[in-house]
Amino acid sequence: MNRIVTVTLAAALSSMAFAGVSRAESLGMNTTQGIEHTLRTFQGNDFNVEQVYNWRNSDDGTTGPRSAPERSDQAIHGIQASIDANRSLAHRLNNEGVDVRNIVNAEQAADGSLTFYVR
């Protein structure tokens, strides 16, 4: 009986340790540094582009997706520079009709896909 409890406890602690590692990685992936690194190295085609709406001004008459979290001008410039540094990503975005200068945010989902927010 003592052996079963020990094995069960060890398995539970092991599971918690792995869950903590994956959660720690996901918390950092959309920080300024995390998203810039992802954009410089992204090789996939799994991305989408969404228009950012002015959620502060309800009189603008737009409806649609939630607004992206705001980034500072410096962070926006860093995102755009990271995309420019990844020529294949910049080319794919251009083929989709996206001007990199209009991108104001990017987020990575848990599945590795990216969402770009444009104004």
Query: Which tokens is 67 given?
Result: 């607004």
Q: Which amino acid would we find at residue 23?
A: R
Contact predicate 115/109, CB 8 Å: yes
pLDDT of residue 54: 60
Query: Which tokens is 73 given?
Result: 């001008």
> Which of the residue ranges 6-10, 14-18, 46-50, 77-81 would you say has the lowest mean pLDDT?
14-18
Contact predicate 85/112, CB 8 Å: no
pLDDT of residue 22: 37
- Average pLDDT on 3-10 reads 58
Query: Which tokens is 105 given?
Result: 């945010």
Contact predicate 78/32, CB 8 Å: yes
**Domain map of the chain by residue range?**
1-29, 31-118
> What digits encode the pLDDT tens for the residues 35-88?
999 999 999 889 999 988 765 555 555 555 555 678 899 999 999 999 999 999
pTM of this structure: 0.69
Categorize the per-residue pLDDT at 30 as very low, low, confident or very high, splitting at 50, 70 and 90: confident
pLDDT of residue 42: 96
Report d(CA 82, CA 89) in Å as an integer.
Answer: 10
Query: Which tokens is 88 given?
Result: 């294949």
Report d(CA 118, CA 52) in Å as an integer.
Answer: 6
pLDDT of residue 46: 93
